[in-house]
Amino acid sequence: MEDDAVKLDNYKLQINEEVVDINIFKDKDGFMHYTISVKNISKHTSIVLDKIKEEFVSEVSVGKISMPEEGEAEDIKEQLREELLILVKKYFPNATSKTSELLVNELIRQNVGLGDIEVLLKDPQLEEIVINRAEEPVWVYHKRFGWLKTNIIIPSEDKIRHYSTMIGRDVGKEITNLKPLMDAHLLSGDRVNATLKPISSSGNTITIRKFATKPWTITDFIRGKTIDYRTAALLWLAIQNELSVLITGGTGSGKTSMLNVASSFIPINQRVISIEDTRELVLPKDLHWVPMETRLPNPEGKGEVTMLDLVVNSLRMRPDRIIMGEVRRKEEAEVLFEAMHTGHSVYATLHANDVEETIQRLVNPPIDVPKALLPAISLILVVNRNRVTGRRRVWQLAEIMPDGEPRIIMQYNVLKDSFEVVNKPLQSYKTLSLYTGMDEAKIEEDIKEKIQLLKWLVENNVNDVHDIGGFFRRYYVHKWEKEGVYSKGGI
């Protein structure tokens, strides 16, 4: 770090036996940096490790060491571990078994795995990892500081291509000059997009959107001011009583995270089917949940399972709730709206920046849903990320009226960083009254009770997705016992 730099943060990561020091700082020109350094491997040791690598490669070349040709990535690493351990002991004869293991892990990470990218994958503070081309620093998107330039540089375009090929091979995908675009995922669930030059004219690229090891919860969102108590309580009441909800927003705004948070409100006595292109949702273990995932065709063009295939199939699985990762096409939307009209509750995401844009996207190609069908969606929740400040906020909450027109209930005020009630709910309260028998006063009373329960979650810092699920399970069981639902055979 430069002498005149401003230190922003510093923390350590433990990766196997390695301790990695993370430094985040702002330089004199205002650029933000993210640097890594392995604390327990010195420069001298790194030089010796490079020599071990050279000897290993040369022995493979002359046939002294046979490289495994087939097998899973982890199996290959285990086979190489023994050979590398012999070379480590040759150059470090006095090293303890713990130190030897550390050095072998470093060799495997740098030469068989994804190198220093694996360090970035282990940092829970990162959301995105981006390789734009060789000989340019890798960029990361940090939860607190936004885009940061790292001190990691991929030395060649061939290395980037090798990483892409290796990622694709592990999940049955390929990237070639004839197929220069690839969507895949790491075995950890992280989403990967890769492109090859000259499609990306500056060089080969890899973009990794990290799978959240700890899913966001309603507690996190309220504490972080992403959503306010009243909006959260109304969303809870709507989902509890089977109103369908569409969550919209721009890229990176947190649509899937909000969908995951909202799913915790689903009662435990109902069967949930989720449909995604890449598995991102992590629902509470108390839910009766069946996750499903699409599949691209193999190199011969066979074996594809589309979103539409899964939506149609899900209707044959007796679902009570259907969660769809993203609506993109007319056929998918038609099946979802049919599901809504036949009594299923549907929760889905859509790319749109506000309520008006959401309606326009739904009623125009390529989705092209008749406006008369829109009232099947009870609520539209719009989420937004400010690209300057990095703030994620619920932007709007709206209900759909019988004529298909939206009615804004809540709007975010940018200047005040607060949520403002624009209109009193009409159609959604009418629907809730029909389903529950509650009048408006009872609905408001229920919302106030939910606000108090949400405050308890925040005050007691209950922010594990499964603990949250347990809280809502106890809430529903208590509610049903109080109302005599069990004794009436309702469950």
**How large is the average pLDDT for residues 326-352?**
91
**How large is the average pLDDT for residues 237-254?**
95
d(C-alpha 254, C-alpha 220), whole Å: 13
Q: Residue 12: inside a domain, yes or no?
A: no
Q: Residue 14: inside a domain, yes or no?
A: no
Residues 237 and 366 in one domain: yes
- Strand segments, DSSP code E, in 47-131 are 126-131
pLDDT at 70 > cutoff 80: no
Strands 181-185 and 18-26: unpaired
pLDDT at 72 > cutoff 80: no
pLDDT of residue 489: 47
Range of the domain at 329: 218-483
pLDDT interval class at 396 (50, 70, 90): very high
* Cβ contacts of 46 within 8 Å, gap of 6 or more: none
pLDDT interval class at 62 (50, 70, 90): very low
Q: In this prediction, what percent of the chain has a pLDDT beyond 70?
A: 91
Burial class (CB in 10 A: 0-12, 13-18, 19+), 103: buried
Number of structural domains, the chain? 2
CATH of the domain at 304: 3.40.50.300
pTM: 0.80
Beta bridge partners of 33: 25, 149
pLDDT interval class at 75 (50, 70, 90): low
Q: Which of 80-84, 129-133, 267-271, 337-341 has the highest mean pLDDT?
A: 129-133
pLDDT in tens, 146-158: 999 999 999 999 9
pLDDT interval class at 187 (50, 70, 90): confident
Backbone angles phi, psi at 343, to 5 degrees: 100, 5
**How many angstroms separate the Cα of 15 from the Cα of each of 21, 95, 108, 413?**
11, 19, 13, 42
Residues 222 and 109 in one domain: no
pLDDT in tens, 421-455: 999 999 999 999 999 999 999 999 999 999 999 99
Domain endpoint, select from 113, 146, 170 = 113
Residues 229 and 102 in one domain: no
Q: Residue 393: inside a domain, yes or no?
A: yes
pLDDT of residue 452: 97
Q: What string of DSSP letters covers 293-314? A: E-B---TTS---B-HHHHHHHH
Task: Report the range of poorest mean pLDDT among 14-18, 20-24, 175-179, 356-360.
Answer: 14-18
pLDDT of residue 58: 65
pLDDT of residue 74: 59
**How large is the average pLDDT for residues 264-290?**
92
Q: Residue 198: inside a domain, yes or no?
A: no
pLDDT of residue 208: 96
**How large is the average pLDDT for residues 170-178?**
87
Q: Residue 195: inside a domain, yes or no?
A: no
* Average pLDDT for the chain: 88
Task: Tell me which residue of 382, 475, 405, 428 sits closest to 238, measured CA to CA.
Answer: 428
pLDDT in tens, 114-126: 888 989 999 999 9
Do 284 and 270 form a contact (C-beta atoms < 8 A)?
no
Domain endpoint, select from 77, 92, 113 = 113
Strands 205-209 and 126-131: antiparallel
Domain endpoint, select from 86, 113, 140 = 113
Q: Residue 107: inside a domain, yes or no?
A: yes
Residues 296 and 411 in one domain: yes
Residues 433 and 290 in one domain: yes
pLDDT of residue 485: 61
pLDDT interval class at 390 (50, 70, 90): confident
Q: Residue 269: inside a domain, yes or no?
A: yes
pLDDT of residue 94: 82
Q: Residue 212: inside a domain, yes or no?
A: no
Tell me which of 57 and 472 has the higher pLDDT.
Answer: 472
Do 245 and 378 form a contact (C-beta atoms < 8 A)?
yes
